[in-house]
Amino acid sequence: MMRLGSRVAHMVGSGDDGWGIYYRTRELVAQGIGVTNLTIGEHDVGTDRRILEAMHASALSGQTGYAFGPGKRPLREAIAARVTARTGVPATWENVVITPGGQAALFASHMVLLSAGDTGLYVDPHYATYPGTIRATGAAAVAVPARSEREFQPDAQAIDAAAAESGARTLLLNTPNNPTGVVYARRTLEEIAQVARARDLWVISDEVYDTQVWEGAHLSPRALAGMEERTVVVGSMSKSHAMTGSRLGWIVAPVEVARAVTDLATNTTYGVPAFIQDAALHALEMGPGFEAEVAAPFRRRRDIAQAVLAGQNAVRPIPPAGAMYVMLDIRATGLSGEAFAHRLLEEERIAVMPGESFGQAAAGHVRVATTVADEAFADALGRLAALAGRLAAGRAEAGPAAAGGGGGATA
């Protein structure tokens, strides 16, 4: 058998990829079995027709050839203006590179900032691709746990210790956060920025959920003192404009980083189709009011979640301040997040993601996507809480032996 190169094996690592629940859900649906699917962050509405019409018109006008380079200047200018307005720090079109979605922006950022043998840090819990994106460069990926008891706010001292021990060059942050629904506090980010400056870290800031903030305010690390020159902002049209399939993302970075990302694109993606770029520009020109419309269902369902889960003790929601997710602590049931998620799927036909899918810091939790209609969402959460309540009550009745050996995980 011909030998494969080691890069992809190193990138993905070993063991389960954590998406067994999602694959099982697809199997059940394919068999015609109804499942309330709360696993993935996909809008329950399609891309707005006006955006699709702009895409169609652009394609018909001839914008279907190669779109080599960092992206069309009008779109880059619009993104620079958007980031300037949101961060208070000026950006120009030269700081912007258009990428095939936010994931490609994360990949490109790490590729140009890390070398083989370096170390990149990321906060755990984390989006599933984060460690693989770092390892793809040949660097080591080191997780820095954030704790449920601190509502998953990162600990700057832990980041500092990890950076000192590993000699890390980069730190990947994500606020509003997937999977926890947490918005990082100003004090948290200021303390992290102090570490980044002291340890000479690049900060890669994944801000794809910046329009989905329910409490407090979104703060980009780029806006903090001394951080503009060491921060790469990753953005996307996916969540803000319900354009997940269009694969339109970007980086905003110092010019030398943007040029390196453009060189990388020449040898990988060769750019993003021009008709999709034109549709993205049209979408941005629809203004913040449209972005608020896209975000509104998730704000509403976040409020529904708080109401449904009030007054019970088996499920502890991490206060959901942003993004389209609610993270639930189910350790009172005595089950791991994975075991609870499997039981919920098989007994109630409700699919959620185990916290363990997003790193060990979220063990004993499950992530619920707020991505189905309000009534179905409220019903599913009520049934989830009822199952957790039965399990917790049974565990209590069984006494100390069950409490000590029920398979619960700590976070």
CA distance 81 to 91: 7
Asked if residue 32 has pLDDT above 70, the reply is yes
Asked if residue 224 has pLDDT above 90, the reply is yes
Strands (E), 88-230: 96-99, 119-124, 140-145, 170-174, 202-206
Instruction: List beta partners, residue 166.
Output: none
**Residue ranges in 61-170 assigned as alpha helix (H):** 73-87, 101-113, 130-135, 156-166
CA distance 398 to 312: 20
Each residue of 78-90: pLDDT tens digit? 999 999 998 889 9
Provide the percentage of residues in the chain whose pLDDT is more than 90.
Answer: 89
Look up residue 193 and give its two tokens.
């920025």
Instruction: Give the pLDDT mean for 359-365.
Output: 96
* pLDDT on residue 8: 87
Asked if residue 410 has pLDDT above 60, the reply is no
Axis-axis angle for helices 20-30, 337-348 (nearest 10): 10
**Chain centre to alpha carbon of residue 315:** 23
Look up residue 152 and give its two tokens.
């998953």
Q: Confidence band (pLDDT; 50, 70, 90) for 17?
A: low
Query: Do 87 and 222 meet the contact criterion of CB atoms below 8 Å apart?
Result: yes
Higher pLDDT, 98 or 21: 98
Closest listed residue to residue 189, CA positions, set 161, 214, 226, 163: 226
Instruction: Give the pLDDT mean for 306-314.
Output: 95
Query: Do 176 and 213 meet the contact criterion of CB atoms below 8 Å apart?
Result: yes
CA distance 287 to 299: 19
Peptide bond into 125 cis (omega under 30): yes
Which helix (H) or strand (E) segment holds residue 329: the answer is strand 325-329
Instruction: List beta partners, residue 351.
Output: 37
CA distance 332 to 391: 8
Amino acid occupying residue 225: A
Instruction: Give the pLDDT mean for 18-42.
Output: 92
Query: Do 74 and 94 meet the contact criterion of CB atoms below 8 Å apart?
Result: no
Instruction: List beta partners, residue 202.
Output: 170
* pLDDT on residue 173: 98
**CA 278 vs CA 214, 249, 275: distances in Å:** 30, 13, 5
Strands (E), 237-321: 249-252, 316-317
Provide the percentage of residues in the chain whose pLDDT is more than 70.
Answer: 96
Each residue of 323-356: pLDDT tens digit? 999 999 999 999 999 999 999 999 999 999 999 9
Please, which residues have CB within 8 angstroms of residue 141's CB and are 6 or more apart in sequence?
119, 120, 122, 130, 131, 132, 134, 135
CA distance 345 to 304: 21
Higher pLDDT, 388 or 87: 388
CA distance 150 to 153: 6
Asked if residue 409 has pLDDT above 50, the reply is no
Each residue of 263-304: pLDDT tens digit? 999 999 999 999 999 999 999 999 999 999 999 999 999 999
Axis-axis angle for helices 156-166, 186-199 (nearest 10): 20
* pLDDT on residue 404: 47
CA distance 97 to 91: 12
The b/e string for 139-155 (b: 16+ C-beta within 10 A; e otherwise) is: bbbbbbbbebeeebbbb
Asked if residue 411 has pLDDT above 50, the reply is no
Sheet holding 325-329, edge to edge: 316-317, 325-329, 365-369, 353-354
Higher pLDDT, 1 or 36: 36
Domains and CATH numbers, the chain: 7-46+290-391 (3.90.1150.10), 65-286 (3.40.640.10)
Asked if residue 55 has pLDDT above 60, the reply is yes
Burial status of residue 404 (CB atoms within 10 A of its CB: 0-12, 13-18, 19 or more): exposed
Instruction: Give the pLDDT mean for 46-52.
Output: 98
* pLDDT on residue 407: 41
Mean predicted lDDT score pLDDT of the chain: 94
Each residue of 110-135: pLDDT tens digit? 999 999 999 999 999 999 999 999 99
